């Protein structure tokens, strides 16, 4: 098991907090979703560290990174943070693994400045955007839980929002959700419907793979077909029994899909 240590980096005009799960392999930067501080991905990062040197980012407005009023919480700013972080750390040959919003950040970052990036792993990104169907989650789900967390909530209270998660997972989310700055979350959610990531897919300068949650309702077969039409080189793996929060729903299935996409051997190592 890899022990994490945290540190802060000045990049793109903000403070970015990173948790590093040091491994012997090539660097991997994990970019979480809309309300997932870095620490909540620790159980995934520990196994990833069997094959990668893992850095998990607190996206601005979340966790211990810069937050509060006056910051730009739009997609381009978050994408530029990712590129600036890779540069500030002097990383090269980076696998960028983004989940949900983090996958959209990865796509936009690669399209704007792919320096240091070797490949993208896009885990169930929202495919909403201008003129497209809405993202299936609703904004009050996020806002209501954040406001409760700001007042103080425990794992039992979090069960109303994450009923299938383990008590440990719910407790960790309850502990850290208050660090998600509500205006940052609202801006990101609105961006799911305003920002067009499809326009970035044909010209991606690095290879990309896509992991789809079979029960997530975020990416449907027609979406997969459109993505492949825009970029036929994107390889796709599915996790049939998982919802959108794939490793929470099917931890082993998440790593089986990574093995399929990356040629790793997590499943064999974890047996």
Q: What is the pLDDT of residues 83-118, one digit of tens each?
A: 999 999 999 999 999 999 999 999 999 999 999 999
Q: Has residue 139 been placed in a domain?
A: no
Among candidate residues 156, 167, 168, 220, the one labeled active-site is 220
Kindly state whether residue 154 falls inside one of the protein's structural domains. Answer: no
The enclosing H or E element of 11 equals: strand 4-11
Judge contact between 210 and 239, C-beta under 8 A.
Answer: no
CATH number of the domain bearing residue 254 = 3.40.50.1820
For the segment 114-139, what is each residue's pLDDT rounded down to a tens digit? 999 999 999 999 999 999 999 999 99
Residue 166 lies in a domain: no
For the entire predicted model, the pTM comes to: 0.97
Average pLDDT over residues 169-194: 97
Extract the tokens encoding 118: 């070797």
- At residue 158 the predicted structure's pLDDT band, cuts being 50, 70 and 90, is very high
Pull the structure tokens for residue 226: 């459109």
Structural contact between residues 8 and 89, judged by C-beta atoms closer than 8 angstroms:
no
**Residue 9 resides in a domain:** yes
Say whether 100 is catalytic. yes
The strand pair at 27-31 and 94-99 is best described as: parallel
Q: For residue 156, indicate whether it is catalytic.
A: no
Domain of 106 in residue numbering reads as 4-132+195-269
Q: What is the pLDDT of residues 9-63, one digit of tens each?
A: 999 999 999 999 998 899 999 999 999 999 999 999 999 999 999 999 999 999 9
Would residue 261 count as lying in a domain? yes
Q: In what order do the strands lie in the sheet with 4-11?
A: 4-11, 14-21, 53-57, 27-31, 94-99, 117-123, 208-213, 235-239
Percent of the chain with pLDDT over 90: 96
Confidence at 268, pLDDT banded by 50, 70, 90: confident
- Supply the pLDDT for residue 204: 97
Confidence band of 2 (pLDDT split at 50, 70, 90): low
Does residue 10 form part of some domain?
Answer: yes
DSSP assigned state of 203: T
Residue 1 confidence (pLDDT) above 60: no
Is 118 part of the annotated catalytic residue set? Answer: no
Domain count, the chain: 1
Contact (CB, 8 A) for 270 and 242: no
- For residue range 201-231, list pLDDT tens digits in order: 999 999 999 999 999 899 999 999 999 999 9
Asked if residue 84 is part of any domain, the answer here is yes
**Is 244 part of a structural domain of the chain?**
yes
| Candidate list 66, 83, 100, 145, residue with the active-site label | 100
């Amino acid at each position: 098991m890899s022990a994490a240590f945290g540190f802060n980096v000045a990049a793109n005009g903000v403070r970015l907090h990173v948790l590093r799960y040091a491994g012997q392999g090539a660097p991997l930067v994990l970019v979480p979703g809309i309300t997932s501080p870095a620490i909540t991905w620790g159980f995934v990062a520990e196994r990833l560290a069997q094959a990668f040197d893992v850095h998990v980012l607190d996206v601005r407005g979340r966790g211990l990174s810069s937050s509060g009023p006056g910051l730009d919480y739009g997609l381009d700013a978050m994408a530029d943070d990712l590129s600036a972080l890779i540069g500030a750390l002097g990383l090269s040959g980076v696998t960028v693994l983004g989940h949900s919003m983090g996958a959209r950040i990865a796509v936009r970052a690669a399209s704007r400045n792919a320096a240091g990036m070797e490949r993208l792993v896009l885990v169930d990104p929202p495919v909403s955007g201008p003129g497209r169907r809405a993202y299936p989650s609703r904004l009050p789900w996020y806002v209501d839980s954040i406001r409760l967390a700001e007042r103080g909530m425990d794992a039992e209270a979090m069960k109303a929002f994450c009923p299938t998660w383990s008590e440990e997972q719910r407790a960790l989310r309850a502990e850290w959700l208050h660090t998600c700055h509500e205006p940052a979350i609202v801006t990101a959610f609105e961006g799911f419907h305003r920002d067009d990531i499809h326009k970035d897919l044909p010209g991606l300068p690095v290879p990309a793979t896509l992991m789809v949650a079979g029960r997530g309702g975020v990416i449907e077969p027609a979406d997969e077909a459109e993505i492949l039409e825009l970029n036929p080189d994107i390889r796709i793996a599915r996790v049939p029994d998982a919802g959108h929060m794939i490793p929470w729903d099917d931890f082993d299935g998440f790593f089986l899909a990574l093995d399929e996409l990356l040629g790793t051997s997590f499943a064999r190592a974890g047996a």
